[in-house]
A and B are shown apart, each in its own frame.
Chain A
Amino acid sequence: MSKVNIFTRGFFKENAVFVMLLGLCPALGTTTSAINGLAMGLATTFVLIMSNIVVSLIKSQIPDKVRIPAYIVVIASFVTVVELTMKAYLPELFAVLGLFIPLIVVNCLILGRAEAFASKNNVFDSILDGLGMGLGFAMALTILGAVREVLGSGSIFDIPLYEGDGALVFVLAPGAFIALGYLIAILNKLTKKTA
């Protein structure tokens, strides 16, 4: 597999949210606006890259039987780093994302990449994989957040687009499911045409 391929497949072919359906909880829970989605996506990307690096470095040292708990500890450490940094420098964002920051640790995407990719490949490829998958995830969250923000509050990245309130339901829980459902349907249609 070429280096370019490792990097780009996270965006469309194996996009975490739209295709693999991984990491759905933060994808639905934090995307009330485009900015929140982007912030959550970048925080996840950081943890994903760092954990991919460490897992790839220590892969030969870990006995096979305890590898999953070992990966989880590695991931949890980086999540704690993000959590404390965010609390100190971005307290407002931390208040909005709240519970979903510590919950990065149980994002199936991160453990999935550690198990499926980083534990079998060298450090450089693992960084590329983490970067591609993470940015693909961030992209998906930003798109979903943007769609919900436009429909729900009539603005995008906090810039007002039209007068009035918009359909509040898209900011609330049900709108998240419905918006993601239709996004996946549209994406299916697009990818089928090109394939």
Chain B
Amino acid sequence: MEYVLIIISAIFVNNVILAKFLGVCPFFGVSKKVETALGMGGAVVFVMTIATIVTYLIQKYILDKFGIQYMQTITFILIIASLVQLVEIILKKMSPSLYQALGIFLPLITTNCAVLGVAILAVSTDGFGLMESTVYAIASAIGFGLALTIFAGIREQLDMMDVPEGMKGVPIAFVTAGILALAFMGFSGIA
């Protein structure tokens, strides 16, 4: 499989949030400011890439080898949970300001279904080797960050708009996301 195809498909055509509905909770939770959206996007790129590499190796060399594929869900979620803990400790030391900005959402990456979802998709897609899985994970995470940042930019503008009373807050955010998803559907012509 060609890497370019994987990258374009994962970022635009099959965007994790807007086409696959993975990671919708942080999509609405941390998208009020562009700055936090970028931070969250960066954290997800880091966690998702490492998580996919580690889970891929575990799947191939432990779960498949001993025929215990039914342990997949439990194993993967534990790996991701410990990785998130690691990122949290590193970030606390290296960049306290970013750590403060991301606040409670960093531990929530554990329950970010995008990370587990991409890890499972990578091992279950036929023809994906370690290299393809890694590229796929990075591209998916970039797609996540991209959608999150665009959405945060729109929401910053939305704050200044005159929104009808009943649509204020969450409802208008959902409709906006729907229109954004509509725009991303235009990319499906490429693939």
A96 at the binding interface (Cβ < 8 Å): no
Q: Which of A54-62, A75-83, A118-126, A131-139 contacts B (4 or more CB under 8 A)?
A: A75-83
Quick check: B70 and A80 within 8 Å, CB to CB? yes
CB distance from A80 to the nearest CB of B (A): 5
A29 at the binding interface (Cβ < 8 Å): yes
Q: Which of B102-150 contact A (CB under 8 A)?
A: 107-108, 110-113, 116-117, 120-121
Pick from A25, A76, A178: contact of B175, CB under 8 Å: A178
A182 at the binding interface (Cβ < 8 Å): yes
Quick check: A169 and B182 within 8 Å, CB to CB? yes
CB distance from B82 to the nearest CB of A (A): 8
Quick check: B166 and A185 within 8 Å, CB to CB? yes
CB distance from B72 to the nearest CB of A (A): 7
B: number of interface residues (CB 8 Å): 41
Contacts of B5 in A (CB 8 A): none
B98 at the binding interface (Cβ < 8 Å): no
B177 at the binding interface (Cβ < 8 Å): yes
CB distance from B40 to the nearest CB of A (A): 15
Most buried by B among A77, A103, A172: A103
A73 at the binding interface (Cβ < 8 Å): yes
Quick check: A182 and B70 within 8 Å, CB to CB? no
Quick check: B73 and A102 within 8 Å, CB to CB? yes
Which DSSP category, helix, strand, loop or mixed, fits chain B's interface?
A: helix
CB distance from B22 to the nearest CB of A (A): 6
Quick check: A73 and B74 within 8 Å, CB to CB? yes
Who on chain B is nearest to A170 by CB?
B178
Contacts of A108 in B (CB 8 A): 25, 108, 111
Most buried by B among A25, A80, A108, A189: A25
Contacts of B74 in A (CB 8 A): 73, 76-77, 80
CB distance from B55 to the nearest CB of A (A): 12
CB distance from B116 to the nearest CB of A (A): 5
CB distance from B86 to the nearest CB of A (A): 13
Nearest first, the 8 A-B pairs at minimum CB distance are A181-B174, A177-B178, A29-B21, A178-B178, A185-B171, A174-B181, A24-B24, A181-B175
User: Would you give 25 A-B contacts (Cβ < 8 Å), ordered by A?
Assistant: A21-B28, A22-B25, A25-B23, A25-B25, A29-B20, A29-B21, A72-B110, A76-B74, A77-B74, A99-B121, A102-B116, A103-B113, A103-B117, A105-B77, A106-B111, A106-B116, A107-B111, A173-B185, A174-B181, A176-B178, A177-B177, A181-B177, A185-B171, A186-B166, A188-B166
